[in-house]
Structure 1
């Protein structure tokens, strides 16, 4: 009797030991799976583990995409609504709520458009006429940038600054029926700011200029023609953004010549205004289309019928730069007694998801 008990006890101990071994194995495998490549000191092993994890993630992503496509196809075959597509969370679509965001039914905003400083130009009562000048201490890249601005903005004229005060230039421009003044400010031989002054009653916008790339530095760039360009303004959603958009719009004629195929774009993203200048080109290419197996020529070979296909592509003309609004001032330029509509201050940047344009 006693010997039998010992055997049973030993078999029970063996089962417990096997369970503990299996649980330890599971823990080791889980630890290996949770092991991060950054914790591995050996470079070769680290890169191997990293490549393995990357491959695994790619396969998982592909499997999810296949399952999603299969579910959509199944729903369409059954006549049901396909599952809703997930919208990725971005900084733009999770921005802080802003009361000044314009709505399509904002009657007050559209009523104010007919009475603001830009209405005469935007309603085609006056043709835009732009005076472009520099700061007093000009640089080497300044004139090159101004010459490209002259090719972008129709009816723009360059005047040398000399020692004239900006108030005198504003007075001269008013007498000569200019509608706007653009002042290119340079620092350390590099253009770093733009001042846009609306005439005769303002407003004055001060922009920080960065990431300037001239036409000659753009690979496979195109040369613009003298046609009036089409203007594209993107994502100016708030009241301040709407006002800045109308200020930019007042620099260009409101009757674009579409045959010139020129497009000037001001794209606002996270309060940075990206400027791009393109030409769109239509090309016809021959694409060989293979007919079905039934149709063959006299020799018994399948026919290759050439098909003309029109392809549209963009060619960048330059320049390329980024603007950031620093201030918007009532009236023409006045540093001492000027009243500001909006000024950017460091304490306003409370969140990455807070935008003003």
Structure 2
């Protein structure tokens, strides 16, 4: 009996020691939530230390709200600084300091030892003796054969046909299961200067083999971001049969110089300016962006352009000497995985 009585006394003691939770008045709960976000200040001092971040808020909706507030506040501060600098520049006039150039991966590119100097005698000698010298000396005219991999799908066939409207004197032929080693002699016998093969995977074009005839070289590209004419917004009319102008941008190294000459030899020498059509190969961070436009001069200062399509992006995989030979071919350059992971500002083209 003594043990039981002591046990009951202990239970009643523990019940008496429990305290009730304090009730919050109206408005105090919101103040606590704002204090957790670090935005409530008492007498000019923050409620939390400066190291407190929005990511420490556990409530997802509250965290997102505070994040959007901080983002809007930073944007207001940025716009205010921008307007202040603009007013100072207008007040100073010619004495104003030059505008700051933002740092990008492109303008911080690591210098490559193989960068081409157009005035270099060695470069001029290589251009006079390479595989494209006959084209640039106007001894040959480009003639391109475009084909696909075995059993192409409809979208790849449409892509090839649209490429044929961009490249003058280009002909599309069905592959019929022939090996490329058998196709190349037939192309040389019929006077073709290029063999272009469009490969596909899962009904999407994903590769291009561009072989210069009769002596090479052969380049293998990865194809991505293909957009046909019907898939493009604000597209212009169908392209005409005029020979387009060719623009090659940012092919600075020896390898890039060779790839640029490879693309240039696809088109005839003398463009027809009446058609006002331009084919652009723009290299940026080793990705080659192709665009096809038509331009018009609106006045002396303004020029309007419309994209005709198709558009796609190329990534060089390998450059091989001679014509296509996957088994015994000699490669000048092959892309290696993770080669440039140590430095993101180093490029090959």
Q: TM-score range by the shorter chain?
A: 0.7 to 0.9
Which residue is equivalent to 1:63?
80
Q: Distance in 2 between matches of 1:62 and 1:30?
A: 28
Unaligned runs of 5+ in 2: 1-40
TM superposition score normalised by structure 2: 0.81
Cα distance, 1:169 vs. partner?
1.1
Matched, 1:163 2:158: no
Q: In the alignment, is the contact (CA less than 8 A) between 2:320 and 2:332 conserved in 1?
A: yes
Which residue of 65, 68, 71 maps to 1:51? 68
Query: Aligned partners of 1:256, 1:88: CA distance in 2, in Å?
Result: 37
Name the CA distance, whole Å, in 1 between partners of 2:89 and 2:235: 43
- Other-structure match for 2:188: 174
Pairing 1:276–2:294 present: no
Instruction: Give the structure-1-normalised TM-score.
Output: 0.79
Which sits farther off after the overlay, 239-248 or 220-229? Answer: 220-229
Cα deviation 1:158-193 (Å, max 9, x = unaligned): 222113221121101111111111011122222111
Superposed displacement of residue 134, structure 1: 1.5
- Confirm whether residue 352 of structure 1 aligns to residue 344 of structure 2: yes
User: Deviation at 1:318?
Assistant: 1.0
Q: Which moved more, 1:40-49 or 1:236-245?
A: 40-49
Is 342-351 or 330-339 further displaced after alignment? 342-351
1:241 maps onto 2:233 in alignment: no
- Give the secondary-structure state (helix, strand or coil) at the position aligned to 1:248: helix
User: Superposition pairs for residues 317-332 of structure 1, below 5 Å?
Assistant: 317-332=308-323
Determine the C-alpha separation between the residues in 1 that align with 2:301 and 2:239.
22
Deviations 1:7-48 (A, max 9, x none): xxxxxxxxxxxxxxxx995652563x6543333234554344
> Can you list the C-alpha shifts for 1:53-106, whole angstroms capped at 9, x where unaligned?
223222322232233223323333xx63x2132221111122233111223433
Q: 1:65 to 1:203 in 2, by over 3 A?
A: same
Uncovered stretches (5+) of structure 1, i.e. residues with no partner: 1-22, 285-308
**Cα displacement string for residues 180-208 of structure 1 (whole angstroms, at most 9, x for unaligned residues):** 11011122222111000001110000001
Q: Which residue of 2 aligns with 1:335?
A: 326
